[in-house]
Amino acid sequence: MSELINVADDVYEKLTRLKKAKNASYSEVIRWYISEKPEEKKYTIRDILATVRARRAKNTRKKEKIDHDLVLYGVSRDSS
């Protein structure tokens, strides 16, 4: 069963960060968050490392420079 709920923007952002860090669905994040004891809701080192690895994997793509003159005309202006 699915239900539509309204949450504040800051709550949605926090749920989204947790969702990406745990690689889980929103339901799983909410289930985890409400099932834990309040003192156990702090991030563990595994959560932090998962977040760092996810960010690193997202940012490692190198932008490829396309020489449009070479593609269109067969001559590069940079190769003088």
Q: Are 21 and 50 in contact (CB under 8 A)?
A: yes
31-52: b or e for each residue (b if 16 or more CB lie within 10 Å)? Answer: eeeeeeeeeeeeeeeeeeebbe
Higher pLDDT, 38 or 78: 78
DSSP output for the chain: --------HHHHHHHHHHHHHHT--HHHHHHHHHHS-GGG-SPPHHHHHHHHHHHHHHH-PPPPP--HHHHHHS--TT--
- Can you give the pLDDT at residue 38? 54
pLDDT in tens, 15-68: 888 888 888 888 888 888 787 655 555 677 788 788 888 887 776 666 677 777
- Can you give the pLDDT at residue 79? 57
- Can you give the pLDDT at residue 40? 56
